[in-house]
């Protein structure tokens, strides 16, 4: 099974691209959804997080209080590193477990931090969705109601556009319409099916 890692900066269009692949019948395993799933009550991740951060990170219903946790790690790099050391391996394991269950010729792993976390080397191909920063800011502001300054700050905290592009095997330029985006995805879909047919593993 061919594994494609889909990534891109905030607001580049990862979700839009993922939707196009889904519509073509290709499973998309999304790191953000898996990250929410692994911290469900009763699963080992939440216990580990509670051990590290105390019951202050639990909401009254026993679920993870994400807002509280975000507040803690925002100002404490060690806390952030500890949290990631707990979560990242669990997210990774779960994503590969889900991927290996699929019966399609290829699957998409949607991982915003694919390059930052070095997972670009574990997938067969890296697909980067790319937009110029101005358009990225406009789309983030329209989607999330941020100011252009806030959007620029988030973008500046992410890996640079160039470094992400350097890791890419395939690039989708998402500067056009949704229909143009769909066409690019269909083109890649044919390419991935072709590659998968030569990749018996």
Binding site for ligand ADP (CB under 6 A): 8, 10-16, 139, 143, 174, 176-178, 181
Distance, in Å, from the CA atom of 88 to the CA atom of 90, rounded to the nearest integer, reads: 5
Nearer to ligand ADP, 126 or 181 (CB): 181
Cα angle, residue 67 at apex, residues 62 and 68 outer, rounded to 5° = 70
Nearer to ligand ADP, 57 or 185 (CB): 185
Nearer to ligand ADP, 117 or 199 (CB): 117
Query: Cα 2 from chain centroid?
Result: 18
Supply the minimum distance, in Å, between the C-beta of residue 174 and ligand ADP: 5
Structure tokens at 104: 């399609």
Query: Cα 72 from chain centroid?
Result: 22
* Secondary structure of residue 28 in the 3-state scheme: strand
Nearer to ligand ADP, 143 or 190 (CB): 143
Supply the minimum distance, in Å, between the C-beta of residue 120 and ligand ADP: 16
Q: How many CB atoms lie within 10 A of CB 78?
A: 8
Supply the minimum distance, in Å, between the C-beta of residue 60 and ligand ADP: 31
Nearer to ligand ADP, 153 or 197 (CB): 153
Task: Name 8's bridge partners.
Answer: 129
Supply the minimum distance, in Å, between the C-beta of residue 78 and ligand ADP: 28
Supply the minimum distance, in Å, between the C-beta of residue 44 and ligand ADP: 28
Distance, in Å, from the CA atom of 154 to the CA atom of 17, rounded to the nearest integer, reads: 21
């Amino acid at each position: 099974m061919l594994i494609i890692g889909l990534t891109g900066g905030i607001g580049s269009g990862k979700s839009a691209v993922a939707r196009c692949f889904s519509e073509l019948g290709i499973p998309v395993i999304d790191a953000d959804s898996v990250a929410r799933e692994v911290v469900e009550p009763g699963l080992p991740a939440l216990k580990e997080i509670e051990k590290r951060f105390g019951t202050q990170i639990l909401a009254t219903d026993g679920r993870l209080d994400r807002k509280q946790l975000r507040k803690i790690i925002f100002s404490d790099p060690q806390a952030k590193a500890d949290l990631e050391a707990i979560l990242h391996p669990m997210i990774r394991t779960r994503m590969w477990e889900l991927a290996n269950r699929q019966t399609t010729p290829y699957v998409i792993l949607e991982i915003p931090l694919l390059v930052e976390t070095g997972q670009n080397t574990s997938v067969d191909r890296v697909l980067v969705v790319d937009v110029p920063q101005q358009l990225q800011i406009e789309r983030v502001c329209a989607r999330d109601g941020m100011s252009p300054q806030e959007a620029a700050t988030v973008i500046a905290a992410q890996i640079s556009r160039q470094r992400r592009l350097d890791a890419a095997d395939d690039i989708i330029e998402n500067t056009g319409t949704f229909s143009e985006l769909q066409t690019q995805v269909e083109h890649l879909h044919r390419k991935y099916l072709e590659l998968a047919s030569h990749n018996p593993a």
